[in-house]
Every structure is written in structure tokens, then in C-alpha cells.
């Protein structure tokens, strides 16, 4: 068995453990999710999938597909912890990015499984952790900010985003979009030219995956392509494409050479 195969199996096993812990957590608080404040989306529609009222997981397709983020995150961690890591992307930063991806997945399960306001909080939290990382990473490379100071800026940015999420939850999607688009513009315009031998195609693969995912998200959200009782859900595809986008972004960061070839 190859080294990569071992890492894939490890990431898969860790994803299974994370799924078991998440289900255990849901069992502690559910399955009567009507006891909790509902997510903001329940005022309009929480995507196409019909909630299975009374079940532990209200939207199974949208929930289980979110573990794609968790798998991608654990695979990043297993790769970042190898001894042969040869990249300008610090292993610690790679693992922080991986944890943000895992948080996206677990948070999404908590939202779609419960359709509660607290589930929504953790769902958006993961999105902010990812977009904040992308923005700070671009700024740090462009302005040559030290790793320690970049870490501080990342914590402060995430704290501000979480504060806004608590105070003004209705702007959560717009704020995420603004931070994400700003991060992409800064990365491609200012940071990318400073990254040695970086494979820019991976970044564009991620953008394409995210763009297609967003198109599917809109069709699902507005009921344009919708089969409420089907296990094949557009929002589930959004999750899998979103996880792929984060994976491509990780490959992009990892491809940056630590130094110029001799």
C-alpha cells in the first residue's frame, strides 16, 4: 500500500470518528429541535431538502455531504505532518487551514441536522474561518508580514467577524462574500506574484469549483431545480464542490517552493 493510500485511509478513519462524535452530540440535544430558536433561513426556506420532522437529522443529504469538508481537512493534516514536507506554506498554517475546513463541515452538519440558530452560528463560523484565512494569507504574503503577526491578525479578524455574526446575523452571507472576494483579488493581484514557483492553476481550479457550486446553490435555494424528498440535493453538491475548492486551494499553497532552485 502506498504512502498516499495510507494517508487517505487515515483521513477517512478520522472522518468516521468525527461523524460518530457529531452524531453523539446531536443525540444529547435532540431530536426535538423545535425546543431551540430556529435558524434564520426557516423564515423563508432552508434550501430544497424537506426536513424530516422528528428525526435526529432533519436534512440527511445536506448533512452527510458536509463531511466532505471534514475528510478534506483531515487529509490536509496528514499531509502537513509528514517529514518530507517541502513547501513555503508552514505546516502549522496548513493545519490551521485544515481545521477551518473541518469546522465548515461540522458546522454545516449542525445547521442542516438541526435547523437551529445555534447550528447556523457554527455553520457560518467555519465559513468565516476559511475566508479570514484566505484574506490574511494574501495580505501576509503581499506585505511580508511575519507568521506570528499574521496569526494575530487572523485571530483579530475572526473575532470581529464573529462579533458581527452575533450582532447582525442577517448580513452573514454578504459579509462572507465580501471577505472571500477581497481575498481572491488580493491573492491573484498582489500575493501570487511573490510566491515562488506556485502552481496557480490549482487556485483557478478552486475558483471554478466554487463558482459552479454557487450556481447550484442558487438553483437549490430558490427552488429552480428542486426535489424536496430526494437524497440527490443541489445543496449537497454545493458542499462537495466547496470541499473540492478548499482542497485545490490547499494544493496551491503547498505548491509554493520554499526557496529558489539552485
Mark the binding-site residues, compressed into ranges.
112, 235, 239
Nearest to 19 by CA among 143, 108, 150: 108
Query: Residues comprising the binding site for Zn(2+)?
Result: 112, 235, 239
No. of helices (H) and no. of strands (E), the chain: 9, 0
Cβ neighbours of residue 194 closer than 8 Å, sequence gap 6 or more: 141, 142
HEC secondary structure over 216-227: HHHHHHCCCCCC
Say how far residue 194 (Cα) sits from the centre of its chain.
Answer: 25
Question: Would you put residue 115 in left (φ > 0), alpha (ψ -120 to 50) or beta?
Answer: left
3-state secondary structure of 116: strand
Amino acid at each position: 500500500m502506498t504512502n498516499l493510500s495510507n494517508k487517505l485511509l487515515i483521513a477517512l478513519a478520522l472522518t468516521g470518528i468525527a461523524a460518530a462524535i457529531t452524531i453523539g452530540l446531536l443525540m444529547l440535544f435532540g431530536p426535538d429541535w423545535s425546543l431551540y430558536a430556529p435558524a434564520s433561513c426557516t423564515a423563508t426556506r432552508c434550501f430544497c431538502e424537506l426536513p424530516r420532522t422528528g428525526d435526529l437529522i432533519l436534512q440527511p443529504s445536506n448533512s452527510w455531504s458536509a463531511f466532505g469538508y471534514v475528510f478534506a481537512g483531515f487529509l490536509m493534516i496528514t499531509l502537513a505532518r509528514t517529514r518530507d514536507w517541502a513547501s513555503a506554506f508552514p505546516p502549522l498554517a496548513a493545519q490551521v487551514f485544515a481545521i477551518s475546513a473541518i469546522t465548515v463541515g461540522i458546522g454545516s452538519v449542525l445547521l442542516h441536522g438541526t435547523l437551529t440558530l445555534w447550528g447556523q452560528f457554527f455553520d457560518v463560523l467555519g465559513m468565516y474561518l476559511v475566508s479570514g484565512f484566505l484574506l490574511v494569507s494574501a495580505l501576509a504574503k503581499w506585505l511580508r508580514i511575519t507568521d506570528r503577526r499574521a496569526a494575530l491578525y487572523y485571530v483579530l479578524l475572526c473575532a470581529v467577524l464573529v462579533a458581527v455574526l452575533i450582532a447582525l446575523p442577517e448580513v452573514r452571507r454578504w459579509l462572507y462574500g465580501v471577505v472571500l472576494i477581497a481575498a481572491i483579488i488580493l491573492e491573484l493581484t498582489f500575493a501570487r506574484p511573490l510566491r515562488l514557483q506556485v502552481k496557480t492553476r490549482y487556485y483557478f481550479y478552486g475558483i471554478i469549483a466554487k463558482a459552479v457550486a454557487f450556481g447550484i446553490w442558487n438553483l437549490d435555494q430558490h427552488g429552480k431545480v428542486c426535489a424536496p424528498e430526494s437524497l440527490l440535493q443541489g445543496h449537497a453538491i454545493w458542499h462537495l464542490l466547496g470541499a473540492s475548492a478548499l482542497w485545490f486551494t490547499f494544493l496551491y499553497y503547498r505548491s509554493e517552493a520554499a526557496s529558489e532552485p539552485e
